[in-house]
Structure 1
Amino acid sequence: MSAHNTVLVLGATGGIGGEIARQLRDAGWAVRALWRAAPQAEEVKDGITWLRGDAMHRPDVLAAAQGCAVIVHAVNPPGYRRWAELVLPMLDNTIAAACAQGATIVLPGTVYNYGPDAFPRLTETSPQHPETRKGAIRVAMEQRLQAATQQGARVLIVRAGDFFGPQAAQNWFSQCLVQPGQPVRTVRNPGRAGVGHQWAYLPDVARTVLALLARRNSLEAFASFHMAGHWDADGTQMAQAIGRVVARHTGTPPRTAGFPWWLTALASPFVATLREMREMRYLWQMPVRIDNARLTELLGAEPHTPLDAAVDATLVGLGCLPERTGLPIPRFAI
């Protein structure tokens, strides 16, 4: 396999990193993944070469990236913990490796970069004036990536809404709406009735990344694209989709309840994850919609799985349902 089709994925054990790694593998790329808990120094498993190493240790990242044309930076501190300490040093190691190889860095982006002055519709040129700590870090990440293009690296940012998918555990869907490994009897909706919310199905995000990587040589050195994903226009459609899918499996739809935000206020001084969730509450209190016009102009269409099919696959993957309904999960070749 030539270096042109060799990729290093940082965060391949996570939701979006794992999905991108698997789809790149299936598309014929030679995929390397860095993992601190790898049982051996190097092991090929399911078509992916797992290398023992730590994204916080620059020599590990530099060694793993040797000969790579692309580095996917999808690594995050678990449970939202120690963001301020870890996020930027990890990115700096990726940047150093990309500059050494002349590689393209792929960053799965979020809406945390934006503050209310950019709402409700976000484009690639919307102002980035965040009002949260995590948002400020996200802005700093993109600023460092843009500076890296002056040192030989290239950058591709794909921004989407809140992730959900079969193997995605650290997100609002699996940490709030449902409980992984448990039957769905109650769907807890963190949103406010009548307020729209943006969702992104992980396999669709990964397909979009692959389609853009196929065109990376024609893109500008610092390129960003927005995905529309699934727009929940009134803040109730995701919960309703979960209800439909569960009822199809069990015959009994779950009840819908509000998310106990009061509990995050009480527990946030003691639980880092709840503290960070509470900081992001503003994204559930006002509509934030991502405009994908630039993406569709380039690709012609955005990869898109119907909502019920995406929710079905997600609930099965999270262990919340006993078996699939047989709903088709469409594949796209863009």
Structure 2
Amino acid sequence: MSYYVVVGAGPVGRETARLLGEQGHDVVLISRSVGDIDLPGVRARQADATDAAELSRISRGADAIFMCAMAPYHRWPTDFFPIVDGTVRAAEAVDAKIILLGNLYGYGENADSSLHSGLPLDPTSRKGTVRTIMWQRVSRAKVPAIEVRSSDYLGHGAVTYFSLLALPSIVQGKPVAFLGDLDADHAWAFIKDVARTLVASAFYTGEWGRAFHVPSQYASPRDLIRRTAAMLGMEVAPMRCYSIVEMEALGMHELVEMRYLFDRPLLVDSSDTEHLLGVKASSLDVMIADTVRDYR
């Protein structure tokens, strides 16, 4: 049995803690606002990861710290770095490995599909730059580090473009407006598969200082909307795409720079994750069913 600290009590952090607890490990799940949890082997602790001294005390004896915390989308440039820096200082103080939850933004708009984990990071957006700097700071730590990079989430509790823009309209039977090319294939990652990849990374025996991609399933936004409606027993409502002018007028400023992710196919090579970590993507139907379970 090992001791692990999971920073961030969102859907991925909780699922990661649950998996570790089920494996018999001692787990502490920390967040500034974590409440009571009912997860075997998991203790909840209210703490702020920007406080490196406090996080060090909590992490004493830990094999690894999972950094799964999420900053408000519009505050990434100001809020993420103190969390990462606190995590790095704490991990160095207790000699714990770091597993960083990341995404694909750092590859930038000019990267060729299919994205593989060996591609250089070349961000073309503010949020992509933030993610790149986060990994740079973690990878320079005096302890081993791995980043797990995921595409857009599906699953219970996911807060993503699909859950914010499309799902409410699908549930209400209203016309659906979404981003980019509705017919371009897009990689979707299941929250439970993200957690499985994070946990598997902790036991990776190869060379650290690298990234792994979460195995994904592919569907165009149009196909995902249709399949979600069918699972809910709803008629498929008309679909359209937001224009950039419309997005700006509606106050969707933070989404404009990331629209490129949906303007063309987004393909992700996760073959090394499947081969080295033994993690494969769940079926798309399973992902959708978990996403809409509160609406069925």
Letter in 2 for 1:120: S
On the 8 A contact 2:56/2:94 being kept in 1, the answer is no
Higher alpha-carbon deviation: 219-228 or 137-146: 219-228
On the 8 A contact 1:65/1:97 being kept in 2, the answer is yes
Partner of 2:193: 204
Partner of 1:132: 125
On the 8 A contact 1:178/1:188 being kept in 2, the answer is no
1:225-269 deviations in Å (ceiling 9; x for gaps): 12331122x44221122022112xxxx33314224344421143x
In 1, Cα distance between equivalents of 2:214 and 2:256: 25
Q: How large is the RMSD of aligned CA atoms in angstroms?
A: 2.2
Superposition pairs for residues 110-129 of structure 1, below 5 Å? 110-129=103-122
The alignment's TM-score, normalised by the length of structure 2, stands at 0.91
Letter in 2 for 1:183: V
SS of alignment partner, residue 76 of structure 1? coil
Residue 138 of structure 1: how far off its partner (Å):
0.8
Residue 278 (1) aligns with residue 256 (2): yes
| Structure 2 unaligned regions, length at least 5 | none
The alignment's TM-score, normalised by the length of structure 1, stands at 0.81
Partner of 2:242: 260
Partner of 1:238: 224
Partner of 1:7: 4
1:80-135 deviations in Å (ceiling 9; x for gaps): 13211111111011011111222121112211001233122111121211110111
On the 8 A contact 2:215/2:281 being kept in 1, the answer is no
Residue 185 (1) aligns with residue 185 (2): no
Letter in 2 for 1:57: D
Q: How many residues align?
A: 293
* 1:312 maps to which of 264, 268, 289: 289
Partner of 2:16: 20
In 2, Cα distance between equivalents of 1:146 and 1:299: 20
Residue 34 (1) aligns with residue 30 (2): yes
Partner of 2:210: 223
* 2:87 maps to which of 94, 106, 117: 94
Partner of 2:102: 109
SS of alignment partner, residue 179 of structure 1? helix
Structure 1 segments (4+ residues) deviating >6 Å: none
Partner of 2:52: 58
On the 8 A contact 1:189/1:256 being kept in 2, the answer is no
In 2, Cα distance between equivalents of 1:88 and 1:116: 23
Letter in 1 for 2:25: W
In 2, Cα distance between equivalents of 1:260 and 1:235: 13
In 2, Cα distance between equivalents of 1:38 and 1:114: 32
Q: CA 1:93 to 1:183, structure 2 compared with 1: closer, same or farther past 3 Å?
A: same
